[in-house]
Every structure is written in C-alpha cells, then in structure tokens.
Amino acid sequence: MKTAPLLSMSASVTALSLALAAPAYAQQGNSASTEARIQSDDFHGPDDIVVTAPFVERLDILSGTSAISGEVLAEKTRAQLGDILTSLPGVSATSFSPGASRPVLRGYQGNRVAVLTDGIGNIDASNTSADHAVTIDTLTVERIEVLRGPAVLLFGGQAVGGAVNALDKRIPRSIPDEAIHIDALAGYGSAARDWSGGASIDMPITDRVIVHLDGSYRNSDDLRIGGYVLSPNLRAEVLDFAAEEASEGNLDEAAEATELANQSGRIANSAVTTWTAGAGIAFIDDSGNLGVSYSIYDTDYGIPARPGASHAHAAAETAEEAPVTIGLRQYRLDFRGAVNLGDGLFDKLRLRAGYADYTHTEFEGDEIGTIFNSQGIEARAEFVQNDRNGWRGASGVQYQTRDFEAIGAEAFVPPNKTRQYGLFTLQEYTKGNLDAEVALRFDTAELSANILGLTRSFNNVSAAFGLGYHIGDLKIGANISRTGRAPAVEELLSNGPHIATQAYEIGDPNLKSERAWNGELYARYDTPGTAFSATLYTNRFDNFIYEADTGKIEDDLPVFKYFQNDAKVWGVEFQASKRLASFGSSDLSVDGVADYTRAKISSGGGNAPRIPPLRLLGGIELTNAHFNLRGEVEYSDDQTKTATFETPTDGFTLVNASATWRPFGRDRNIALIASVNNIFDVTARRAASFTKDFVPLTGRDFRVTARLSF
C-alpha cells in the first residue's frame, strides 16, 4: 500500500569487529581508527576489509554506516529485506505481510528511503506501495548497508531517511584463487515451516575473466503467531458487532464475526514462494574492469485480508471473499565498469547501469484482478578524485526512467511515464583533526499521463554541509542539508480501489515539490574495548506529502488520501558496546541500541501516521574462534501518538537467543547456526505497518542455518 510516513546516507569504513564489543548485528563505521582494528566476518574478505557503497569507498563519510554481513546476515535472512535489518539503530519495517516488507529509516518509508542494488535503484515498485515486494534476493546477497548523512546526495535528493544498499557478486569484483569458488546457504524456520536455500559459483576462465552463477529458492507456509490475529482494539470492535447481530437475531452473522475475532495460531493467506536465478561475467585487470549480469526474481505471496473490507470487483460479490495473492516477476540486466585514470585530478571513472522489466499481477482467487507492468532504466557515471593533500571527492550524472501501466478493473493509477536527471558532487577535506564535507545536487523530473493530458515538471536543488572533529578516540560533529523531492506518480494520480492494499486510494495532481531542512548532531567514541555512537536529528518540511485514512468509505473500502502540509520531525539514535572480560581466547561483551522518532504535521494536522515508538535493545555475547553465544531482549513502547483514524499500537518485549558453531574454526569457512526468536511467543505489531491490526509479527520461531564457502 502506498505510504508516506517519515523518513535521512553515508558510507564509511564498515566491518564487523569480533574482538571489539560492537554488536555483531549492528556494525557502525565511524572514524579511520576503526579500519585498523576491525576484521570482517565475510569469508571472502581479507583480514582487514573496507567495503562500502559503490562510488564512495574512498570517503570517510561523516555520518557513519550500519551494516550486516557474513554469519549475522545468514542468521537474520528472511523472505524480505525489511525484516532483516530491524536490529540496526533507527531501522524498522513496513511488515505488510511476510512476502512484502520494506525498510523504515528514522520513521520514513516509501519514496523517502532509497533501496539500492550495488549503488543504483532496485528498479521495482516497492517504493510505491507497501504491498509490493522488494526484488532483492536475500539468500545470495553478501552485505547490506544502511547509509545516512550528506552522502545521500550521491544517490538522490529524495532519500531524507537514508538508503539501504545491498551488495551481491553477480558482477564479480575480483578473481578468486580457486578454480571454482562456491558459497552456499540453507535454512529452516519453524514458525512458517520456511525452507530456503541459495548458492553461487564463481569460475575464472582466464586470469582476467570470471563467470558467476547463482540461484535460490524459498517456500514458506502461513505464518504462525503467538496469539490472536486481530489487535485488541479491532477484536473488541468485531466482538461488539457480533453481540449486536446476535441481539437482532442474526445468528449466522454473529457466529461468523465471533469466529473472525477468535482467529489465532496462524495468519491465513500469508505463505510465500520465491525463486531467483542470476548469471554474470566480468573482465578485470590493472586498467579497470567491465562486467554484465542478468537475473530473474520470481515470487508469489498472499495478502492477508483486512477484516470488514471488501472491494467493488465483481469477483468480490460472491458469498465468500476470494483470497488475494500477488504474482511478481522481474527480469533485470546490469552493467558495471571502471577505468583507472592514473595520478591526475581523477583516479577513475565509474559506470553503473541497470534495466528491469517488472510485472506484478494481483489475483482474486484464480481470477486476475489487476496487472502492473513497469520498464525502468537507471544509469550513472561518476568521476572519483585522487586524494590531494586531504581533499577527495566524487562527481557525476544520473538518469532514471520508468514506463508504468496498470491493466484491469481496479487499475487505480493511469498509464504514466517518469523521467529524471541528476547532477551531483560530494567533496571531503581533512586537515589535522578536522573533517569537512560538502555535497550539492540538482534534479529535474518530468511525470506525464497522456490519457489524462497531464504533465508535471519539477526542479530541485539539494545541498549538504558537515563538520567533524576528533578529540582522541572521540569524534563529534554536525551535518545540515536542504533537500528536495518531486512527488511520485502514485501520490499525484492515484484514484480508485486497490485490491491488494484493500483501500480506495486518492492522489492529488496539484502536489508541489516537498522540501526539507535537515540537521544532525553526533558523537562517537571508538576504542578496542568500548564504543558508542549517539545522534540527534531533526527535519523541517515544507509541503510534506503524506497518506492518511480519511474515515470515509468508497466501494466498501476505507479511503486513503494524499495530503500536503508542513511537518516537523526529530529523533535520537544511540548504540553502545563494551567488552566486559576475556577468558583465554573468548570475549564476553554487552551491547545496546535505542532509538526514538517524533513527527507532527503542522497547522493542526496532528501526528504523522505510522511512526515507530521508542525502542530499546540489549544483548550479551560470548565469542571465540569456534562459537558465538548470544542472548538479547528488545523492548518496543506503546505508540499512542497516532494520526487521525490510526489505531494505537501496544508495546511488546521480545527475547531472542542464538548459537553459532564453526567446527573447523574461522579458517575453514563452515558455520552452523541455531536460533530461537520470540522465545516467549509474544504477540507483537509494528507501528509502521499499514496491516498491524491484522498481521502481527512472527511468534516463537526455531531456526537452523548452515553457511559454507570453499
């Protein structure tokens, strides 16, 4: 479903620290000192590894980066990207269903969070509606980074909340030493009877050419939960309705409503089946590299029914509502290249491009409801500068295009085309203990719907400036930016029932560009045994675009409409870790994460919709070369600061535990992982989710995972 809650990118040195107390699930890159003392848990990396978002790996970005990879990523891998990252500071998820969940950063989702594949957009439709799956294969991806700060302008002025960048090996980056290199991951989860497996093969065919193949498969049943399907408020409404029907003698209707209110155990129609396949080839030598890849992402998943909602389609007028499912397939072609330019002003020229053909079909039972077709291209070229007396940077151009059409009785958006062009530069300067960063970007966007005779053009200039100062192991700093975002087609042109979101959605063709002032203060302390990071951020929006429930009903569906007003957002993020003791080769560490976001619409607009509440997470971990043992507790507060017609969300506490065994130590690249999540089978719901009142989170879930590389 389309969303517009609130949402800020940077890339810096990031990697896991196994000896440091930094929590494995929440790596945070800060200063250059981090690079010298950390190592990655990625089996393929060298002892000291620096992996960052493409185009900015030379930059010591001021805002830092959170990331997961290796065994941590293997243990947390789920069907959708959003559900993998929720342990990181400032990150929640849309959790629309097990088959569709997108990251929420600092309360922002949809078009205010960029989801990237190897540095360019994912070219799917997940940003336009929360029921649309993210087309990233979580079983074969190697590393996922959450990026914030001024460097967001390298990827677009719209991502106020930040960006999530997934790195894979479909276009190889290096020639392996082995004749054939294989990576594999397999797992099982009890809550959804979830079987999954993925593998990749890299084969050098000459000393400069390498071929890559990968594939994955996942099959899960309806999701098991800890209690009732319906939230307490919604369940009470349904029981009141049942009592009213019974008092009027409508016993069949009363029995049906009572049965609905008492549903528990599993979420009906929440199963997911996904498969992927990919192939790539790359030429790599000292002068640069050139590579291409082709991939397919195919998924079928159910959309749990919203109680009380139906739709106007004729198939819905039968005695029993047909289940809604989505069949989605994306064909994607990618290109990446780099040319080393020597010792002059520029170090190298980087090129990156992708094309995707996307089809998304919404079914009502066996009958096709609506088909969404999208063809998109994104391309960028970037000159990366050589380091000159502490001065470094990157500048380039970016192009995006999308042709979109919806076919069917419930095509709530007319056929449309979007074209976007961008120019950008990011510059960083270091002098002694002082770091400075400046970013500038110009974007122009044209959105047209010929069937309506409508064309809208938007021009936006975005700029950012940051300062950081080192005091020993402590770094303090501030970032400020002015960003602009053109309205999305769905925000402008929606007008009709949407079967999958089970809502009647109405856009506003007169929306203006959304602009914001963004500020951030941070402090980071980083030593081999202790680390912490604290950030205070604020955003002040002009013409903030958001979608809210109007309280009206159209075609038996709740009406959600896009509005525009000024808005204020502020929040805090905190992360800390401490090594408590060492026992021979083993280390005992504790860690914690806290985050909070507050968002209000100006001029009496009230609270912004779907904002995550205060969240606290703490863990204790024992690690050595052969095993990791971890226990953690996550607390989420009640969310009562809700928008009009939005229901409150009850708080919850989850307890999780995991154990990782490396039978041959770290050098043999084999890991067996056992975990249990939500040990006490708590019923939990995310405040950021449109479907929270009838799609709770996973109940008690036992999982086993095997990861190997050779």
State the Cα–Cα distance between residues 398 and 663, nearest whole angstrom: 47
Where do the structural domains in the chain lie, given as residue ranges? 27-229+267-709, 230-266
Q: Within 13 Å of residue 471, how many CA atoms lie on the same side as its CB?
A: 6
Q: How big is the CA angle at 279 (ends 185 and 673), to the nearest 5 degrees?
A: 5
Choice among 68-82, 95-109, 111-125, 602-616 with the minimum mean pLDDT: 68-82
What pLDDT, on a 0 to 100 scale, did the predictor assign at position 63?
56
Say what the alpha-carbon torsion angle 166, 172, 173, 179 is, to the nearest 10 degrees. Answer: 130
Q: Is 340's pLDDT higher than 90?
A: yes
Burial class, 327, CB count within 10 angstroms (exposed 0-12 / middle 13-18 / buried 19+): middle
State the Cα–Cα distance between residues 528 and 127, nearest whole angstrom: 39
SS3 606: strand
| Distances, alpha carbon 368 to alpha carbons 326, 362, 365, 371, 409, in Å | 10, 6, 8, 8, 10
Question: Any idea what DSSP says for residue 139?
Answer: T
What pLDDT, on a 0 to 100 scale, did the predictor assign at position 44?
30
Neighbours of 579 (CB within 10 A): 22
Query: Alpha helices, DSSP H only, in 113-270?
Result: 232-247, 251-261
> With DSSP H G I counted as helix, E B as strand and the rest as coil, what are the percentages for the chain, rounded to 5?
10, 55, 35
Q: Locate 359 and state its tokens.
A: 């089809």
Which are the contacts of 531, defined by CB distance < 8 A and separation ≥ 6?
20, 21, 22, 28, 30, 524, 525, 576, 577
What's CA 128's distance to the chain center, in Å?
A: 14
Query: Alpha helices, DSSP H only, in 155-308?
Result: 232-247, 251-261
Contact 351, 326 (CB under 8 A): no
Contact 7, 106 (CB under 8 A): yes
Give me the DSSP letters along 455-507. Answer: EEEEEEEEEEEEEEEEETTEEEEEEEEEEEEPPPHHHHH-EEEETTTTEEEE-
Question: Any idea what DSSP says for residue 649?
Answer: B
Burial class, 667, CB count within 10 angstroms (exposed 0-12 / middle 13-18 / buried 19+): exposed
Could you give phi then psi for residue 74, rounded to 5 degrees? -60, -45
How confident is the model over 127-154, as pLDDT tens digits?
888 899 999 988 889 889 888 877 778 8
How confident is the model over 38-66, as pLDDT tens digits?
223 333 333 332 333 444 444 444 556 78
The percentage of the chain sitting over the pLDDT mark of 70, rounded to a whole number, equals 89
pLDDT band (50, 70, 90) for residue 694 = very high
Mean pLDDT of the chain: 86
State the Cα–Cα distance between residues 66 and 58, nearest whole angstrom: 17
Question: Any idea what DSSP says for residue 639?
Answer: B
| Mean pLDDT calculated for residue range 635-659 | 95
pLDDT band (50, 70, 90) for residue 667 = low
Contact 330, 361 (CB under 8 A): no
Which helix (H) or strand (E) segment is 268 a member of? none
Higher local confidence (pLDDT), 8 or 26: 26
Burial class, 603, CB count within 10 angstroms (exposed 0-12 / middle 13-18 / buried 19+): exposed
Q: Is 297's pLDDT higher than 70?
A: yes
**CA quadruple 548, 550, 551, 557: dihedral sign:** negative
Contact 471, 435 (CB under 8 A): no
What pLDDT, on a 0 to 100 scale, did the predictor assign at position 548?
87
What's CA 301's distance to the chain center, in Å?
A: 18
Higher local confidence (pLDDT), 158 or 405: 405
Q: Is 9's pLDDT higher than 60?
A: no
Which helix (H) or strand (E) segment is 125 a member of? none
CB-based burial, 55-80: b 16+ in 10 Å, e otherwise: bbebbbbbbbbbbbbbbbbbbbbbbb
CATH number for the domain running over 27-229+267-709: 2.40.170.20
| Mean pLDDT calculated for residue range 91-115 | 92
| Distances, alpha carbon 247 to alpha carbons 110, 236, 242, 257, 309, in Å | 44, 17, 9, 13, 23
| Mean pLDDT calculated for residue range 227-232 | 95
Which helix (H) or strand (E) segment is 336 a member of? strand 324-340
User: Nearest Cα to 312, choosing from 225, 221, 186, 408?
Assistant: 408
Q: Is 36's pLDDT higher than 50?
A: no
| Distances, alpha carbon 102 to alpha carbons 93, 113, 126, 143, 326, in Å | 6, 9, 7, 17, 16
How confident is the model over 450-480, as pLDDT tens digits?
999 999 999 999 999 999 999 999 999 999 9
User: Nearest Cα to 289, choosing from 333, 336, 334?
Assistant: 336
Contact 277, 329 (CB under 8 A): no
Q: Locate 454 and state its tokens.
A: 């409508």
| Mean pLDDT calculated for residue range 10-38 | 31
Choice among 9-23, 196-210, 376-390 with the minimum mean pLDDT: 9-23
Q: Among all chains, which residue has been given the structure tokens 């002025």?
A: 157
Q: Locate 613 and state its tokens.
A: 């509440």
